[in-house]
């Protein structure tokens, strides 16, 4: 079974839409936010908590899982869903971005990228074929091809070369995936495409057109949320919305602040993922519509109110006060990170539900 996408409501005020993404492990109401479990665990929360939070899909990182515990081990365990005890949909990011941000890159050619593992320095060569195969071994519902993500403010030529190479790699990836599918070796995985192009409108357009021509069932929007101003990101999303097929789902990778999500939904984005709900939690902060707020501040020492009285998460519903969570943070008690992670993830689930409602009711 492959994935399918149904658009339910289209806004008349913007490019926003609601939809349903149907995967072998369940359905996702879009626009949706995916909690990130980089190494096969959404940090500090259990799968049971993720279910209670309302997560319908999570994202894992194929590069990290390939490095440890190994995609072969996950395959031997019966696949990622069984291994990590999450029976709902999973998307694996290819890890192309991590290769650029974490690893010591030695060489990029049209054949692939040679780099040293961030874990132990071992030399690794990733090809478009290998990146598909390791994700087939891992066995997520949605998998991503190897792409090249140019740094923000990289010279135009570098961004252009990355666009060209990304298209070339994705053609190779799609061919490999199609061959494996013919041999019934793709399990329940579907391969998305990824568009690049930095913040250059013409390169974005070109990448969209080239990748759209490859007929993937959905698309990741890469190379954004890498340091560019909010307005530049939104300008690029306008371009993407105009040049990717309307009927297919679009995943804006690495975006998690409320303001960015709301504006991106208005530009037709269906899927989001980001580490910030759990990362900010470990830094002692909780998400707000504004951005986030640090709970270690002295003003919260005797604040016996919950993080958000309107929130229905375990932390707020359970009556855990700011003063108590702050104490846990000051005492480095892990429960503090868990409660903040639950709250931050639920904050985004509630935001997405609210956006879906507003689109349906014609408010945005």
What residues make contact with its own copies under the rule CB under 8 A? Answer: 39-41, 43-48, 68-69, 73, 76-78, 82-85, 301-302, 304, 314, 318-321, 323-324, 327-328, 330-331, 333-339
**Closer CB to its own copies, residue 125 or residue 304?**
304
- 137, two tokens: 């071994």
**Closer CB to its own copies, residue 59 or residue 221?**
59
* Residue 240 · residue 250 · CB < 8 Å: yes
**Min separation Cβ 334 and its own copies, Å:** 5
Cα–Cα distance measured from residue 166 to residue 125, given in angstroms and rounded to the nearest whole number:
16
**Closer CB to its own copies, residue 156 or residue 317?**
317
**Min separation Cβ 69 and its own copies, Å:** 4
According to DSSP H, which parts of 139-229 are helical? Answer: 156-182, 201-212
**Min separation Cβ 318 and its own copies, Å:** 6
- 302, two tokens: 């005797």
**Closer CB to its own copies, residue 67 or residue 233?**
67
Residues 6+ positions from 273 with CB-CB distance below 8 Å: 33, 34, 35, 36, 59, 91, 93, 251, 253, 254, 255, 256
What is the residue whose two structure tokens read 């990778």?
Answer: 253
What is the residue whose two structure tokens read 């993404």?
Answer: 21
Phi, psi of 124 (to 5 degrees): -130, 140
The total of other beta-carbon atoms located within 10 Å of residue 23's CB is: 24
**Min separation Cβ 23 and its own copies, Å:** 21
**Min separation Cβ 93 and its own copies, Å:** 17
Q: Is the CA virtual torsion 133, 137, 141, 146 positive or negative?
A: negative
Task: Please name every residue paired with 221 in a beta bridge, in sequence order, or none if there are none.
Answer: 195, 252
Catalytic residue annotation: 93, 273
**Closer CB to its own copies, residue 203 or residue 339?**
339
């Amino acid at each position: 079974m492959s994935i399918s996408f149904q658009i339910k409501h289209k806004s008349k005020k913007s490019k926003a839409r609601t939809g349903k993404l149907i995967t072998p492990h369940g359905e996702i109401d879009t626009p949706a936010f995916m909690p990130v479990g980089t190494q096969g665990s959404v940090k500090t929360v259990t799968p049971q908590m993720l279910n209670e939070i309302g997560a319908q899909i999570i994202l894992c990182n194929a590069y990290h899982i390939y490095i440890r515990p190994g995609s072969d081990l996950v395959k031997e365990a019966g696949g990622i869903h069984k291994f990590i005890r999450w029976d709902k949909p999973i998307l694996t990011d290819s890890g192309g971005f991590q290769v650029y941000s974490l690893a010591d890159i030695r060489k990029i050619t049209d054949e692939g990228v040679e780099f040293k593992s961030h874990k132990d320095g071992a030399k690794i060569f990733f090809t478009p074929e290998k990146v598909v195969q390791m994700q087939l071994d891992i066995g997520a519902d949605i998998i991503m091809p190897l792409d090249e993500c140019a740094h923000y403010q990289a010279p135009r030529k570098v961004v252009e070369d990355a666009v060209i190479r990304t298209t070339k790699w994705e053609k190779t990836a799609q061919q490999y995936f199609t061959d494996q599918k013919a041999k019934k070796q793709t399990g329940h995985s579907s391969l998305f495409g990824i568009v690049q192009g930095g913040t250059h409108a013409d390169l974005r357009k070109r990448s969209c057109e080239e990748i759209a021509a490859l007929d993937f069932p959905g698309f990741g929007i890469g190379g954004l949320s890498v340091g560019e101003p909010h307005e530049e990101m939104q300008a690029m999303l306008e371009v993407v919305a105009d040049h990717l097929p309307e009927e297919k789902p679009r995943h804006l990778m690495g975006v998690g602040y409320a303001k960015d999500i709301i504006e991106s939904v208005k530009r037709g984005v269906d899927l989001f993922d980001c580490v910030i709900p759990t990362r900010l939690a470990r830094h002692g902060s909780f998400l707000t519509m504004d951005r986030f707020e640090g709970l270690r501040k002295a003003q919260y020492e005797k604040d016996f109110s919950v993080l958000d009285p309107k929130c229905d998460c375990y932390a707020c519903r359970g009556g855990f006060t700011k003063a108590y969570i702050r104490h846990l943070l000051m005492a480095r008690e892990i429960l503090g990170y868990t409660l903040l992670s639950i709250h931050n993830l639920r904050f985004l689930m509630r935001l997405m539900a609210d956006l879906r409602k507003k689109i349906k009711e014609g408010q945005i």
